[in-house]
Copies of this chain bind each other. A is one copy, B any other.
């Protein structure tokens, strides 16, 4: 296999929501209450775009839409749509950017409503919040994904303030063909009960009934690992440790004893720490289960972890080298477009560096680049487009400008 022959599905990208996204998705009587995109002049004369919802005003942060810019230009400043590549917010342009980058399909996480739709949970009237959240999901599934068949894997937001409503929404979007839902790596940090609580059981049950994978994106607890006075680089270095923590929290959780068939994706969590993590949980189990009371039957915790979790990476050579220790069926690739870790528009080249010069089979590469994603995220792009038209080379050849 050559780099050009890879078929790439990215299991973690991001949408900068376009200004007109709520048009046509909100019933007339709620129209005036929908979040609005507002253009604002800054004290320094520059112009930014913000989302306004009730009393909240949410800017788009520059670092979240840097695709195509050199690292020298990264910063945390708010931006206007006109500062960003159209591919960040316009789905037709997004597909062109995916073609340029040889990427067949993509899972897109939300931006302004936060990773698990927390914005809507803060609605003054939660009935209105639910209307807007449903509108978001409908727009995401029908417009963003629906307008580009075979190019996007739908991902829904949960009405996190009410587990019964979460279950209802899981069933509603599943009926529309969406089999992935975002949730929080630690909802207790958001003021809700922890991942272990029976509070969430209606949601967990619906996910199992509908074959819904739960995606826990780093940052979805709205907290960073806290170290006093730490340089910002420390915080950036530690973000994937949120996934380490979430995995450590879930694998021992009574939740997995009540719902052993739950499936979680640890989005943007990296993979290089997994050989250590998987060895560590077995070691803890062997040494401590007698007094902690853990039970995995005939299994080791590492084997259970491979059943439960799917992992992904952007740039992670150690993880790819150690794939046998992780489990080849558990590793997917992500692009992270348009965030600062994305190597767009040279992702195939960046990814190929992981495979080039090591002993790795075509089957392994295919699992990492797309087969595992298809399996875990319940998605079949080849129903729409044949394999031979889905490769890096085929997609890049479609780009005319």
Residues of A within 8 A of B (CB): 71-76, 186, 188-189, 193-194, 196-197, 225, 227-234, 236-238, 240-241, 244-245, 248-249, 251-254, 270, 272-273, 275-277, 279-281, 283-292, 294, 315-319, 321-322, 325, 340-341
Contact = CB atoms under 8 A, between A and B. Distances in A.
Contact of A253 (B231, B240, B275, B286): B231
Contact of A276 (B231, B236, B319): B319
Contacts of A252: 230-231, 233-234, 237
B228 A186 contact: yes
Contacts of A194: 227-230
Given A233-B284, A240-B280, A276-B318, A245 B227 contact: yes
A287 B341 contact: yes
Contacts of A241: 241, 244-245
B237 A281 contact: yes
Contacts of A245: 225, 227, 238, 241
Task: Count identical subunits in the complex.
Answer: 2
B281 A270 contact: no
A227 B248 CA distance: 10
A228 to B, nearest CB: 4
A241 B254 CA distance: 23
27 contacts: A71-B286, A71-B287, A71-B290, A72-B290, A186-B227, A188-B228, A189-B228, A196-B230, A197-B229, A230-B249, A231-B254, A233-B289, A236-B288, A237-B277, A237-B281, A241-B244, A241-B245, A270-B276, A272-B275, A272-B276, A272-B280, A273-B273, A275-B321, A275-B322, A283-B315, A318-B322, A321-B322
Nearest to A186: B227
A236 B249 CA distance: 11
Nearest to A227: B249
Given A72-B290, A316-B279, A229 B188 contact: yes
Contact of A237 (B72, B272, B280, B319): B280
A292 B229 contact: no
Nearest to A236: B284
A267 to B, nearest CB: 17
A322 B74 CA distance: 33
A230 B247 CA distance: 11
Contacts of A196: 229-231
A250 to B, nearest CB: 9
Q: Which of A189, A227, A289, A292 has the most CB of B within 10 A?
A: A227
